[in-house]
Structure 1
Amino acid sequence: MPLPFIYETFVNGIPEWVPGWARDPWTLFQVVAVLGSLYLIKMYSSGRTNPAEKNMHGRVVMITGGTSGIGAATTRELASRGAQIVLLTRLPPSNPFLADYIGELRESTKNEMIYAEQVDLTSTHSIRQFATKWIDNSPPRRLDMIILCAATLIPPGKARTQTDEGIEEMWMVNYLANFHLLSILSPALRAQPFDRDVRVIIPTCSSYIASPPLTDALAKKQWSPKKAYARSKLALMVFGQALQKQLDVYKRPDGLPMNTRVFFVDPGLARTPGMRRWLTRGSILGLSVYLVSYFLPWLLLKSPEMGAQSILYAAMEASLVRGPGGKLIKECMEVDYARMEIKNEEVAKQLWEASEKLIEKTEKEQAALRALEKKAREENEKQKKEMEKKEEIEALAAAIKKGKKEAEKKPSRKQRKQANNS
């Protein structure tokens, strides 16, 4: 069909049914130029596709934030390659939404080895409960990969929020929860056999470049969503580098080199729920503007699937295990860090010590609160049992009293005999 049309146009000229603007070469050139420019912008903003491929069958991958956005796209791709997925979610596995999500994921990827474990990243107690349960196993459970995709983002202009334990929310979810989780799971990482390719993948964001120095405390008066988010990402990268150094100096019982590597990944700007919340400022009006002008986010931002490409590259690229860990991956290639303090050992030491103190203080406070709550529950249960016992005694006394009254009203044997004789 196209060839005859081109031939007829070449021989007889443009057909009469073609609109006038399409007959003008200059107008046609402008249309083609605009469409071509939009196509090139879209291709550039979408980023590179992961060139690496790897058989993931039998590999155990633990992932946070695996139910939405880039984390969900990463989970789906790894599951489709046969990996055993352990989703760390705030919802319990019995939750209908989560059960449906896992069921659909198993069916679409043809992989039944997808599970969920309840872990609340806003609670140090919940993290410790899960992590200690994971490592309290002999022999050590297999763990090939940890991917930390979970993050939270407060829209601009919104007030500072805290977790139930009193920690600033973005600092807790984006940094401290990951610090706590990896600190407890590090023995499980060190215990993996030497011939196993073990990776810890930490997605980050280019916002870390604008973060205030970690050595300066972020006071409440100076707090802003942008500063707090950037600071949490910078802290996570500093901790990741320190974790890699600790793993490198660890001496395995078999005397072989350490086989766990930490990689940082900048997935770029994508149309995730967090990004949508940031662009809309968390308001209905902002969401309306976002929907009306959706072409711009579609054009300039990656899809979650394209945002996951660099994470998949860090998870599957074979050449990454030939060198040291601590690399930063962006657009499926290694890039340099924009902040020197990421590799500063003194900054890392101060951050590590401060984080441990905060977790220790928080856990002690929460343990005391749980003890008080337990004592209050026991007291309530004791009072409830005493009330139930009292009610039973009163009911028994009332029954005896009622029985006596009925016995008094009932005629005696002598009275019944006299009544019969008369």
Structure 2
Amino acid sequence: MVLGILQAVVSNYFPTQFALHIAGGIVVALFIRAFSQGRRTNRERDLHARTILVTGGFTPLGLTLLQSLAQRGAHIIALSPDPIDSANVTILISLLRTTTSNEQIFAEHCDLTSPSSVRSFCTKFLTGKEQRLDAILFAHEYKHIGSPNIFSTSSVDVDQKTRDSGSLTTFLISTLLLPALLVAPVERDIRIINVVNPFYAAAAGVPFSPSFSYELSSPTSSSLFLREGHRSLRTVVFTRHLQRVLDALPTATQVPRTEEGTSAVPVVNSRVQKSNITTASVSPGISRVDTISPLLNADWTSSFGYSYLGMILYLTFQPLLRLFTKSPTAAMQTILHALFLPTPFKVLAQATPGTTEKKDTKSQGPIEASHLEMPEEVLRPGSLYADCAVVQVKVKMPDELLEEKHSRQDVKTHPKDSGKAKGKPSLQEEVLEIADDGEYGGELGGRLVWEACERALKIWEKENPGPPPEETPRPQSNPQATATRPLESVKEEEPESVY
């Protein structure tokens, strides 16, 4: 009976003379979908006993990422804007623990739109017993912000403030938690990964501006995609410059000895890797849920409202969206690739006896990359990754900034000694000597972004002072879900930002 019905349907709607065309169309559709989903990482890594801090963990991409990390045994700390005893947080944490058989999944309250909440979490973490961090995944900046006027329910200024607050949160957490990362053992492989939206290419063709809306009276551009691209490119430039700062710090140490009893400390040439803390920017691509849905303002679960027209279009074009855009699982692959790729330090530490590496460990000089048995790919510190590959983006700097850079170089080459007191250190001795590699805006672009972040951070904190210290609500754990990890009570002290 069933076969007869099936045969009737096939004969009526799929004539045999068009069988070849139908088969060809199916093959083309499958090819387009496979191409649009992008590459999948070919790496794997055991994450047991690795502590990973994740922001944006309760977004569609973030939840998929949390599940993937938990399945590999990672100790996860997910920051939640909602109280940790709320139903959505406790249910999700319990569900992740049950499905992945991993009890080391915790949530901590941290409102990423509030600088006081961010500082409170960082202070609590730095003064707690457990300060180990093996990776920080900033996934909160990936979700698209803003939509065309026909779908929009918020103003351009509000959306721009949201973009800038997300970028300032990344800067604030990175600088506040940096002391804990710098005092970690040098053999520990620490990674800071910033997830950015895929519209960075839209801002790469125009003169780069590091300014935030907190410093300007209006957004830098009237184009939605250009504003999103500017946010993404600015984070990429900051990530690259953060790697330069880490490499220039006096505490940047080479990889320690790889086996007991060796008198020499083998090192990798600084052109390959210098600091055990590596940074990377990741663009997961255009996601159906995190990019298209916010673009059409079609998220009916949002508490800020949604567009009926956008929701209808989003549901109507679901077949095409599933064909041409990425799912959260496919978008996550590049993030995992940057997290799983080995570093030159890691390759040297895993060198087995009897290989070339063991022979080279007896020498005092640096080990060149050509002398190591490198895998086919290692993580490039400070680079931008998209579709599991490094992307080179040329950041166009304005001519007036380039002229200012050349003038500063001339002053540095010919310093003036007038009025200098004896024994007083010069300004040059107090400033880090950061090499200019010319990548992603070079040292000039990175320094301008860093300085713009510091200026905008002061304005952001002034506009969002937060509750007084005595009235600051402390997160309470739910005894049933135990979503939060135990941390000691802390003093209200402000950690210093490191540059």
In 1: Cα distance, 2:321 partner to 2:379 partner = 37
How far 1:364 sits from its partner (Å)?
4.4
Deviations 1:376-404, CA, capped at 9 Å, x for gaps? xxxxxxxxxxxxxxxxxxxxxxxxxxxxx
Question: Among residues 292, 295, 304, which one is paired with 2:316 in the alignment?
Answer: 292
Q: Is 1:197–2:253 an aligned residue pair? A: no
Residue number in structure 1 paired with 2:136: 146
TM-score (normalised: structure 2): 0.65
Residue number in structure 2 paired with 1:357: 455
1:241 and 1:23, CA in 2 relative to 1: closer, same or farther beyond 3 A?
A: closer
Q: Is 1:251–2:253 an aligned residue pair? A: no
Query: Are the equivalent residues in 1 in contact too, given 2:296–2:307 (CA < 8 A)?
Result: no
Residue number in structure 2 paired with 1:34: 25
The one-letter code of the counterpart of 2:319 is F
1:371 and 1:126, CA in 2 relative to 1: closer, same or farther beyond 3 A?
A: closer
Residue number in structure 2 paired with 1:169: 162
Question: Among residues 379, 384, 391, which one is paired with 1:335 in the alignment?
Answer: 391
What are the within-5 Å matches in structure 2 for residues 41-80 of structure 1?
Answer: 41-80=32-71
Sequence identity percentage: 28
In 1: Cα distance, 2:43 partner to 2:254 partner = 31
Query: Per the alignment, in what secondary structure is the counterpart of residue 344 of structure 1?
Result: helix
Deviations 1:20-48, CA, capped at 9 Å, x for gaps? 786644x2211111111111111111111
1:94 and 1:250, CA in 2 relative to 1: closer, same or farther beyond 3 A?
A: same
Query: Are the equivalent residues in 2 in contact too, given 1:204–1:264 (CA < 8 A)?
Result: yes
Q: Is 1:312–2:312 an aligned residue pair? A: no
Residue number in structure 2 paired with 1:181: 173
1:295 and 1:262, CA in 2 relative to 1: closer, same or farther beyond 3 A?
A: same
Which shifted more, 312-321 or 92-101?
Answer: 312-321
Q: Is 1:206–2:206 an aligned residue pair? A: no
Residue number in structure 2 paired with 1:325: 381
1:370 and 1:86, CA in 2 relative to 1: closer, same or farther beyond 3 A?
A: closer
User: Which structure shows the bigger proportion of residues in helix conformation?
Assistant: 1
Deviations 1:274-321, CA, capped at 9 Å, x for gaps? 431213564111101211221010111111011101101111122576
Residue number in structure 2 paired with 1:410: none
What are the within-5 Å matches in structure 2 for residues 88-103 of structure 1?
Answer: 88-103=79-94
Query: Are the equivalent residues in 1 in contact too, given 2:254–2:276 (CA < 8 A)?
Result: no
How far 1:331 sits from its partner (Å)?
1.5
Q: Is 1:111–2:102 an aligned residue pair? A: yes
In 1: Cα distance, 2:16 partner to 2:252 partner = 78
**Residues paired across the two proteins, number:** 354
Residue number in structure 2 paired with 1:160: 156
The one-letter code of the counterpart of 2:124 is K
1:216 and 1:77, CA in 2 relative to 1: closer, same or farther beyond 3 A?
A: closer
Which shifted more, 249-258 or 107-116?
Answer: 249-258
In 2: Cα distance, 1:301 partner to 1:16 partner = 35
In 1: Cα distance, 2:10 partner to 2:188 partner = 64
**Higher RCO (Cα < 8 Å, 6 or more apart):** 2
In 1: Cα distance, 2:393 partner to 2:234 partner = 14
The one-letter code of the counterpart of 1:19 is S
TM-score (normalised: structure 1): 0.76
Query: Per the alignment, in what secondary structure is the counterpart of residue 19 of structure 1?
Result: helix
Query: Per the alignment, in what secondary structure is the counterpart of residue 58 of structure 2?
Result: coil
Deviations 1:196-218, CA, capped at 9 Å, x for gaps? 11111111233112225215676
The one-letter code of the counterpart of 2:247 is D
In 2: Cα distance, 1:288 partner to 1:324 partner = 43
In 1: Cα distance, 2:247 partner to 2:455 partner = 24
Which shifted more, 275-284 or 240-249?
Answer: 275-284
In the alignment, structure 1 segments of 5+ residues that lack a partner are 1-14, 375-422
How far 1:18 sits from its partner (Å)?
7.2
Which shifted more, 206-215 or 237-246?
Answer: 206-215
Query: Are the equivalent residues in 1 in contact too, given 2:210–2:452 (CA < 8 A)?
Result: no
Deviations 1:338-358, CA, capped at 9 Å, x for gaps? 435523222222221222122
In 1: Cα distance, 2:163 partner to 2:100 partner = 33
The one-letter code of the counterpart of 1:203 is V
In 1: Cα distance, 2:8 partner to 2:128 partner = 79
Deviations 1:163-182, CA, capped at 9 Å, x for gaps? 9xxx8111112x11101111
In 2: Cα distance, 1:223 partner to 1:238 partner = 22
Query: Are the equivalent residues in 2 in contact too, given 1:209–1:338 (CA < 8 A)?
Result: no
Q: Radius of gyration: which is bigger?
A: 1
In 2: Cα distance, 1:18 partner to 1:215 partner = 60
1:302 and 1:254, CA in 2 relative to 1: closer, same or farther beyond 3 A?
A: closer
1:18 and 1:56, CA in 2 relative to 1: closer, same or farther beyond 3 A?
A: closer
Indicate the RMSD between aligned Cα atoms, in angstroms.
Answer: 2.9
In the alignment, structure 2 segments of 5+ residues that lack a partner are 1-6, 256-273, 299-305, 347-377, 398-439, 472-499
In 1: Cα distance, 2:331 partner to 2:19 partner = 35
The one-letter code of the counterpart of 1:214 is S
In 2: Cα distance, 1:253 partner to 1:297 partner = 46
Query: Per the alignment, in what secondary structure is the counterpart of residue 82 of structure 1?
Result: coil
How far 1:190 sits from its partner (Å)?
1.3
In 1: Cα distance, 2:294 partner to 2:182 partner = 38
Q: Is 1:302–2:400 an aligned residue pair? A: no
Query: Are the equivalent residues in 2 in contact too, given 1:156–1:226 (CA < 8 A)?
Result: no
In 2: Cα distance, 1:17 partner to 1:353 partner = 67
The one-letter code of the counterpart of 1:125 is S
The one-letter code of the counterpart of 2:242 is L
Deviations 1:95-150, CA, capped at 9 Å, x for gaps? 11100000000001100000111111111111111112212246x71100000111
